[in-house]
Amino acid sequence: MILALETSCDDTCAAVVTSAGEIRSNVVASQGLLHARYGGVVPEIASRRHLELVDAVTSDALERAEVGLEEIERVAVTRGPGLIGALLVGVSSAKALAAARGLPLVPVDHLHGHVVASTLEPDAIEPPYLCLVASGGHTFLARVDDPSSYRILGQTLADAAGEAFDKGARMLGLGYPGGPAIDRLAREGDPSAYDFPRSLPGRSDAGARLDFSFSGLKTALLYRVRELGPEEAGRRRPHLAAAYQRAIVEALAARTAQALDQEDLDRLALGGGVAANSELRRRVEELSADRGVALWAPELALCTDNAAMIAAAARFLEPLPYPEYLGLDASARVATPATAAVP
């Protein structure tokens, strides 16, 4: 029985998962509304809120799982990457929970969690597989041959896909987070009304890295909105949203298709909050069907930040015995050494 904590950004998360990958509870206290008025996550506010919530969220996860702390065999926690103050709350709490009972602790790389979320039951994916993770903080394609690690085949060179959605939404005068707002509005628009750049940087022949870049696209939207002026841009908002969304989705889909072909993989998993996007889901289903690829698009609660995915990764990693982890630090950038080989 694993108890996992995840506090890398603005969600306070705790979960109880068995070593066989059965989710017993997966609790998320979202701070979304707290940050909405600032148009983005404010790190200091996030840390303070984590501190207020972490004990209650942990108790809630244990209660919903109907297990006592005495039944927990290991504690897992996101060590990074993320907001350092936010991570520290999770790491300190996990250390305290584990140390109080002399339990082993598993520090987990947040990205590894996203990559192996689909290995949870009841419909666990088996390696080898490709995983597309697109969230507000990250966008990358990873190959998994063994769930204890992953290899990044390509990633965003600047903004993440979710960030591109959020910034695009801001330019269109929509609220934060922008992804769901663009997704909704785009249904009323014509995606071919504007021809926004697809932004696939670098060479795209076999063996090349499969990177993304959404900065040209953002600039294109900004210029188009300026050109139209506030009134006309307001009127044409559904078309702008649809075309902008189409450009992001096509870039993600094109690189995913390329990665499947290049790596000769027939299983694909999705992760990250952008996996909620209806057009992305449709496109990915389409390209998977075309290639005879089996698709794992887990329920949204497992795509967005959550602690069950951190427990999922912890099942495949070597735990640190008590008291070895007492000096463990959170890390804003660096992944745990066992994972994240970037070529």
Query: Residue 39 or residue 127: which is nearer to ligand KG4 going by CB?
Result: 39
Q: Which of 106, 276, 297, 309 binds ligand KG4 (CB under 6 A)?
A: 276
User: Token pair 């999922």 is at which residue?
Assistant: 312
Q: Count CA within 13 A, CB hemisphere, residue 263.
A: 27
Q: Do residues 98 and 72 touch, judged by C-beta distance below 8 A?
A: no
135 binds ligand KG4 (CB under 6 A): yes
Q: Which of 166, 210, 239, 252 binds ligand KG4 (CB under 6 A)?
A: 166
CB 231, min distance to ligand KG4, A? 26
90 binds, among Zn ion, ligand KG4, none (CB under 5 to 8 A by kind): none
> Which parts of 201-260 interact with ligand KG4 (CB under 6 A)?
none
CB 114, min distance to ligand KG4, A? 8
Cα separation, 62 vs 69, whole angstroms: 7
Nearest to 316 by CA among 114, 150, 148, 149: 148
CB 108, min distance to Zn ion, A? 12
298 binds ligand KG4 (CB under 6 A): no
User: Token pair 């015995």 is at which residue?
Assistant: 321
Give the DSSP letter of residue 327.
Answer: G
Q: What are residue 159's phi and psi, to 5 degrees? A: -70, 150
Cα separation, 216 vs 102, whole angstroms: 52
305 binds ligand KG4 (CB under 6 A): yes
Nearest to 162 by CA among 32, 26, 20: 32
136 binds, among ligand KG4, Zn ion, none (CB under 5 to 8 A by kind): ligand KG4
Give the DSSP letter of residue 70.
Answer: G
Q: Which of 150, 165, 194, 244 binds ligand KG4 (CB under 6 A)?
A: 165
User: Can you read off the two tokens belonging to residue 78?
Assistant: 């996101």
Q: Which of 178, 189, 191, 238 binds ligand KG4 (CB under 6 A)?
A: 178
21 binds, among Zn ion, ligand KG4, none (CB under 5 to 8 A by kind): none
Cα separation, 296 vs 313, whole angstroms: 17
Cβ of 21: how many Cβ atoms within 10 Å?
18
Q: Do residues 9 and 94 touch, judged by C-beta distance below 8 A?
A: no
Query: Residue 180 or residue 197: which is nearer to ligand KG4 going by CB?
Result: 180
304 binds, among Zn ion, ligand KG4, none (CB under 5 to 8 A by kind): ligand KG4
9 binds ligand KG4 (CB under 6 A): yes
Query: Residue 6 or residue 194: which is nearer to Zn ion going by CB?
Result: 6
Query: Residue 76 or residue 111: which is nearer to ligand KG4 going by CB?
Result: 111
277 binds ligand KG4 (CB under 6 A): yes
Q: Which of 136, 189, 191, 319 binds ligand KG4 (CB under 6 A)?
A: 136
Cα separation, 104 vs 98, whole angstroms: 6
What does the chain come to in residues?
A: 343
Q: Which of 90, 179, 191, 298 binds ligand KG4 (CB under 6 A)?
A: 179
Cα separation, 14 vs 28, whole angstroms: 7
Q: Do residues 142 and 211 touch, judged by C-beta distance below 8 A?
A: no
* Count of residues in contact with ligand KG4, rule CB under 6 A: 20
Query: Residue 134 or residue 314: which is nearer to ligand KG4 going by CB?
Result: 134
Positions that interact with ligand KG4 (CB under 6 A): 9, 135-137, 162-163, 165-166, 177-180, 183, 272-274, 276-277, 304-305
